[in-house]
C-alpha cells in the first residue's frame, strides 16, 4: 500500500515592521484627538459668531462710533434699522422695507434678535432657537441687499460680487451647523442647559 505524504503548510516568520510599530500609536492618537479638535473648533466659531451679533447690538444701542456714529445710538433716540431699511435700493421688497424703516416694532425685533442670538451663541445655550432666528434675520437682510441685482433702482451698478452667496448666507449656514453639531457643550453652558427640566421636556430649546 502506497502512502502519500500530505504537504504541510509552511509557516513564514516575519519580523514586525518598525515603520508600522512607530506609526500605529500616532494614528490612534490622531483619531482619538479628532473629536476634541472638532469640538474646540466649533466652540471657537460659535463664540466669534456670537460676538459679531452682540457687538452689532452694542454699537447700535450706544453709538460706539463704528457702524453707528456717536450720539446716534438707540439709547440716544436713533433708529437702529431705519438707515439700513431706508437705503434698500433693489429687490422685490424694496417698498416694503421702506415702509418698515423707522417703525418701533422693527427696531425692537431687530435689536432683540441681535442681543438674543449673540448671548445664546456666546453662552452656548438655545442654539436651535438662535439658528432659527438668525437664519430668518439673515434671509431678510439678504433680500434687502438683493445680490442677484446687477443694477440698483437708480440705474447705477449694484457692485454685487455674487448673485447668490454672500456673507448673510454664510452666517445662516454657520448658525445651522453650530446648532446641528451641539457646539454649546464645549466652552459653553450647553451641557448644564440641556439638563434643566424644562429643556429636557422641550428639546427644541437646545
The DSSP-derived string for 9-55 is: PPPPP-PPPHHHHHHHHHHHHHHHHHHHHHHHHHHHHHHHHHHHHHH
pLDDT tens digits along 182-200: 999 999 999 999 999 999 9
Contacts of 39 (CB under 8 A, 6+ apart): 183, 185, 186
- Distance, CA of 143 to CA of 184 (rounded, Å): 30
- Distance, CA of 21 to CA of 88 (rounded, Å): 64
pLDDT value for 173? 98
pLDDT value for 35? 86
pLDDT over threshold 70, residue 202: yes
Span 76-81, average pLDDT: 96
pLDDT tens digits along 34-56: 888 999 999 999 999 999 999 99
Phi-psi region of 79 (alpha: psi -120 to 50; beta: other; left: phi over 0): beta
- Distance, CA of 136 to CA of 19 (rounded, Å): 53
Mean pLDDT of the chain: 89
Span 113-140, average pLDDT: 98
pLDDT tens digits along 110-126: 999 999 999 999 999 99
Span 86-110, average pLDDT: 96
44, 122 contact by CB (below 8 A):
no
Q: Which residue has the higher pLDDT, 123 or 28?
A: 123
pLDDT over threshold 90, residue 14: no
Q: Which of 115, 104, 114 is nearest to 141 (CA)?
A: 114
Q: Which residue has the higher pLDDT, 27 or 125?
A: 125
Q: What are residue 151's phi and psi, to 5 degrees?
A: -135, 150
73, 131 contact by CB (below 8 A):
no
pLDDT over threshold 70, residue 20: no
* DSSP tag of 75: G
pLDDT value for 34? 84
pLDDT tens digits along 142-173: 999 999 999 999 999 999 999 999 999 999 99
Amino acid at each position: 500500500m502506497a502512502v502519500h505524504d500530505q504537504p504541510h503548510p509552511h509557516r513564514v516568520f516575519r519580523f514586525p515592521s518598525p515603520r508600522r510599530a512607530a506609526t500605529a500609536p500616532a494614528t490612534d492618537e490622531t483619531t482619538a484627538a479628532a473629536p476634541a479638535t472638532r469640538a474646540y473648533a466649533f466652540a471657537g466659531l460659535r463664540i466669534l459668531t456670537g460676538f459679531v451679533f452682540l457687538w452689532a447690538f452694542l454699537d447700535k444701542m450706544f453709538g460706539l462710533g463704528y457702524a453707528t456714529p456717536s450720539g446716534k445710538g438707540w439709547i440716544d433716540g436713533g433708529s437702529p434699522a431705519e438707515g439700513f431699511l431706508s437705503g434698500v435700493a433693489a429687490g422685490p421688497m424694496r417698498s416694503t422695507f421702506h415702509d418698515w424703516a423707522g417703525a418701533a416694532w422693527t427696531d425692537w425685533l431687530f435689536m432683540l434678535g441681535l442681543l438674543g442670538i449673540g448671548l445664546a451663541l456666546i453662552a452656548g445655550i438655545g442654539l436651535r432657537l438662535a439658528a432659527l432666528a438668525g437664519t430668518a434675520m439673515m434671509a431678510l437682510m439678504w433680500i434687502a441687499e438683493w445680490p442677484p441685482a446687477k443694477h440698483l433702482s437708480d440705474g447705477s451698478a449694484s457692485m454685487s460680487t455674487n448673485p447668490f452667496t454672500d456673507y448673510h448666507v454664510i452666517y445662516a449656514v454657520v448658525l445651522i451647523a453650530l446648532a446641528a453639531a451641539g457646539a454649546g457643550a464645549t466652552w459653553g453652558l450647553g451641557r448644564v442647559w440641556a439638563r434643566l427640566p424644562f429643556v429636557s421636556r422641550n428639546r427644541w430649546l437646545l
